[in-house]
Amino acid sequence: MGCLAWALYKTRHQVRTQTAIPGPSGVPVLGLVLAFTRSLTHRGLANLAQTLNAKTLMAFSLGFSRFIISSEPETAKELLNSSAFVDRSIKESAYELLCHRAMGFAPFGEYWRNLRRISSIHLFSPKRIASFGDFRHGIGLKMVEEIRVLVKIKGEVEEPQSFKPQRFMREDVAILGSDLRLAPFGSGRRVCPGKAMGLATVELWLAQLLQSFQWVPGEAAVDLSERVKLSMEMKKPWVCKAVPRVFPV
């Protein structure tokens, strides 16, 4: 179990547990820091959890910082909905850029609750989202270059690393946070407050693309290799051919 940081924590707080959370011991003092020098850290952690039979919970350390992760959707859902884990570790650089007022980094408390309330009532209410949708529909489709498709479902599903969009025809997977097999907006108390607007916007764009163009798959197969930039994206985007639809006058 997680090396130096955990040892110090137990010494200071006199923590005694009958069953230790499994996890890699890592390098003395540094812990598992070397794993975070690779480009796809999440893959390495997932493989470690699988190897150590620690998908439910896995503990490790990075220097003096302690970490516990879960690779199991149901356990992760419990953690994300628990008030004990509602605060986020703050990156001071991001906090400074957002003038120490960002809802995403605000600690759990009255200020954060007020921001969530304002967002849900005034910014992302159903009426406001509908008005945004009408406005975007009026603008229309201005530019289409290519479609990037990436479908990843983590959890107890068949071949999660394979591109099989037909899986969504067999099962209706909720994407607004209640099912962590697919949660683009996050989940729990820190779920994205603009999820309804984001979904409405994507559905509108998709409807316009399908209405205006016939989509022909590219010659190459879908490559689900990843790379990490500002967010996770496809290393080799899947390129399709867009053929304008001709409507009778």
Binding-site residue ranges: 192
Helix (H/G/I), strand (E/B), else coil: 191: coil
DSSP H or E run through 244: strand 241-244
Q: How many other CB atoms are there within 10 angstroms of residue 246's CB atom? A: 7
d(CA 173, CA 167): 9
Are the C-beta atoms of residues 63 and 5 closer than 8 Å to each other? yes
Kindly give, in sequence order, each residue whose CB lies less than 8 Å from that of residue 88, ignoring residues fewer than 6 positions away. Answer: 104, 105, 190
DSSP H or E run through 138: helix 126-139
Which amino acids are annotated as binding site for heme, given as ranges?
Answer: 192
d(CA 235, CA 224): 8
d(CA 8, CA 4): 6
Query: Angle between the 195-212 and 126-139 helix axes, to the nearest 10 degrees?
Result: 30
Q: How many other CB atoms are there within 10 angstroms of residue 9's CB atom? A: 15
For residues 174, 115, 95, 61, the Cα torsion angle rounded to the nearest 10 degrees is -50
- Name residue 215's beta-bridge partners: 242
The residue whose two tokens read 């407050």 is 193
